Amino acid sequence: MATGFFHDELTLWHGGGDYALTLPVGGLVQPGAGLPESPESKRRLVNLMQVTGLMRGLDLRSAPPVLREDLLRVHPASYLDRFKALSDDKGGEIGHHAPFLKGGFEIAALSAGLAKAAVDAVLRGELTTAYALSRPPGHHCLPDDPNGFCLLANIAVAIHAARAAGLAHRFAVVDWDVHHGNGTEAIFLDDPDVLTVSIHQERNYPLDTGGVEVRGTAGSNANIPLPPGCGHETYLQAMDRVVLPLLRRHRPEIIIVACGYDAAALDPLGRMLLSAESFRAMTERMQQAAAELCANRLVLVHEGGYSEAYVPFCGHAAIAQLAGSDITAPDPLAGVIAARQPGARWLNHVSDHLAEIADFFEV
């Protein structure tokens, strides 16, 4: 069956107001280009897929916004009402680094709707795999505290909707965004039926979450914090030595990836050294796990990634792998990033770090 690609142009019309990188404009902060969470990286990804022909091999779909009843399974009515009222007025900011313009509530509900529809279609057997180009992202959003550009918990909303529809019971979320998936973790921390795994740069964002010791009462949460400077080989080791064994132990009915590209070498908000090939290889490992554990059911939901020029190549590599396509967009920076990879001494040091994490999780 085909791979679905869930996208809606309206999600690219979400805006965040006057920022320069992550700093509000004013005082000594000169007006700049706005938040790094801009539509350009996503629009360029769509354009690249059209130019190479990859898009023609996908099942292209949009989706309706999630309903209030979908949101209430994750977010309290008090938060939704505040968000909607401010959105109906002229926009603003409720949490930390999560601003929005007028109409932001409806766009965020549409973004969550894309994730919900992608998970629903795969679980119903309409598609084997799917990619949701959700924007704004969702993995940082707590039930009543939006933060880190995230206004609604897209993946959590999708999981709860699938549960309510009786489509699945056991889920796994693998988050390879460079920032800790604190929102998804908080929502499912004590839920034995949802495995949440976050591979992230240690003490990047949020500063005070993401420690390996945070397991939850059910032991179904796993954090893999990595020191800055890790590259391709370390991430694949993390997948092979920790993530895949955790998935085998949990045996989910579907795997959902919080697919951020901000661990790429050129990202302004991360200090890792991944390439487009890294994201292709990690997607391949998730496909292998899905084939082994859950009848190939795999959904990637777009999260971070802020290099407008490089995110498209990373996304193209992941989606082509997801779709089993041989259409490529040759990485123009592959050689430069390969030359910047850590040396043997650093790799050995981080390998020891991963061995300690694997021992902690008893995998």
DSSP 154-189: HHHHHHHHHHHTTS-S-EEEEE-SSS--HHHHHHHT
Give the H or E element holding residue 71: helix 68-72
Closest by CA to 150, choosing from 98, 105, 113, 227, is 98
335 backbone φψ class: left, alpha, beta (φ>0; ψ -120 to 50): alpha
Q: Indicate the residue type of 96.
A: H
The answer for residues whose C-beta is within 8 angstroms of residue 205's C-beta and 6 or more apart is 140, 148, 179, 180, 269
Helices 311-323 and 40-52: crossing angle, nearest 10°?
50
Distance CA 225, CA 115 (A): 26
- Write down the catalytic residue from 75, 139, 140, 353: 140
Q: How many C-beta atoms lie closer than 10 Å to residue 330's C-beta? A: 10
Going by C-alpha positions, the residue among 208, 217, 219, 212 that lies closest to residue 198 is 212
Q: Could you confirm whether 140 is annotated as catalytic?
A: yes
Residue 164 burial (C-beta neighbours within 10 Å; 0-12, 13-18, 19+): exposed
Residues with a known catalytic role: 140
